[in-house]
A and B are shown apart, each in its own frame.
Chain A
Amino acid sequence: GAGVSQSPSNKVTEKGKDVELRCDPISGHTALYWYRQRLGQGLEFLIYFQGNSAPDKSGLPSDRFSAERTGESVSTLTIQRTQQEDSAVYLCASSLYVGGSGNTIYFGEGSWLTVV
């Protein structure tokens, strides 16, 4: 597709269950990002993948959160043993691995997660 694609768009899960959120970046984009946005708040960085380099996991809030990326394509964010405070929109973004103004980062529409 033309843009960053995320699924599911909405997910309601019970506390304690595991969830997987998927992101398909724009074709050819080597950089991929995950962010969390709680209601009415800013974007919180979670993890960043760049090509074959080791991912920057410095934003993951706990060991219940993990993410993988297959080559330079699909990424999956997994939240284990979900808690109510995990309720948020999870945004994925991608960019080309070039410098200057060409390095615009494009966002998907997000996955809305509600933990009940």
Chain B
Amino acid sequence: AQKITQTQPGMFVQEKEAVTLDCTYDTSDPSYGLFWYKQPSSGEMIFLIYQGSYDQQNATEGRYSLNFQKARKSANLVISASQLGDSAMYFCAMREGRYNQGGKLIFGQGTELSVKP
């Protein structure tokens, strides 16, 4: 069964506008963590933001915020004020298990974001 679903293979956004990248997940474990990574054309995986299943507030990191809707099992990434350097593949990932036990990270198929000047 697909654990992480990213339904947008590709997205375009105008520079300086905000964009939302969708991610839904499937788990029966009450404890889990959600991650977003950026992969530019150079291939490196860059950690962007983390949301724990018990966190009361949505995570934010600079221009990145995570719209966490637990009941809907969605964890969408919002990038505000897009920049040309934001053009990259974006992966949503989930790790099940208790906070103090870690566990394997399962990735979605990714969304390719292109920022237009």
Contact = CB atoms under 8 A, between A and B. Distances in A.
Partners in one complex: yes
A58 B99 CA distance: 21
B52 to A, nearest CB: 6
Contacts of A42: 91, 107-110
Contact of B52 (A35, A48, A100, A110): A100
Contacts of A100: 52, 99
Interface of A: 31, 33, 35, 41-45, 48, 50, 56, 58-59, 89, 91, 93, 95, 97-101, 103-107, 109-110
Interface of B: 33, 35, 37, 43-45, 47, 50, 52, 59, 91, 93, 95, 98-110
Contacts of A43: 45, 91, 93, 107
Contacts of A97: 100, 102
Contacts, number: 66
B41 to A, nearest CB: 12
A44 B109 CA distance: 9
B102 A31 contact: yes
A31 to B, nearest CB: 5
Given A100-B52, A103-B33, A104-B50, A41 B109 contact: yes
